[in-house]
Amino acid sequence: MKISGILTALLFAGTALLFAQDSSQESTASKPAENYSGMYSFLRDGEFVQITVEDAGVVTGFVSRYGDSESDRGAFLDQFFKQGKLEETQLGFTTETVHGVWFEFKGTAGRGEGKTPAEEAYHILKGTLTEYRTDAEKKVSAKSREVIFKSFPQDTDAAPPAKGAD
């Protein structure tokens, strides 16, 4: 009888171990291998998109761009994400509407030509950006284009200063 009790305990422990391995594989499978959080180029010089990848693939951030309508031409506008999601490398976000304009991005996040995070384009966002505009008559128009947004170099100056450098 003692042997059957030991076998039952071993079987229970083995099942628990397999369950724990499956759970850890599921949690790592839903998280991307790379951290794509950071600042990326946008449509024109001086414009950018900031993304932050949070738990469960939720993406927050904003687009900073120059206004181009009569009322805001040249003004710097921030458009925060209404929603955003990253699953594996599939990235999508939609911004809030500012002055009748909002953006939707659908594409991928991946490695770019930069060799280290300190270089431009270490990561890239590649896909379709759709710009929506509402006119005075509340009519919505959409313009889509293929884009590649390159990550800005990240400050990796965390090393202590060299000895003798004053």
Distances (CA, A) of 14 to 11, 25, 106, 152: 5, 17, 43, 48
Of residues 19 and 55, the one with the higher pLDDT is 55
User: Cα–Cα distance between 23 and 72 in angstroms, integer?
Assistant: 51
Please choose, from the candidates 65, 53, 72, 150, the residue with its C-alpha nearest in 3D space to the C-alpha of residue 103: 65
Q: What would the pLDDT profile of 6-44 be if each residue is shown by its tens digit?
A: 434 444 444 444 444 444 444 444 445 689 999 999 999
Q: What would the pLDDT profile of 103-125 be if each residue is shown by its tens digit?
A: 999 999 999 999 999 999 999 99
Class in CATH terms, 38-150: mainly beta
Q: What would the pLDDT profile of 63-107 be if each residue is shown by its tens digit?
A: 999 988 777 887 889 999 999 999 999 999 999 999 999 999 999
Strands (E), 19-89: 38-41, 48-53, 59-66, 76-87
Whole-prediction pTM value? 0.73
Q: What is the DSSP letter of 56?
A: G
Across the beta sheet with 101-111, what order do the strands follow? 38-41, 48-53, 59-66, 76-87, 90-95, 101-111, 123-134, 140-150
* Tokens describing residue 4: 């059957």
Domain boundaries, the chain: 1-30, 38-150
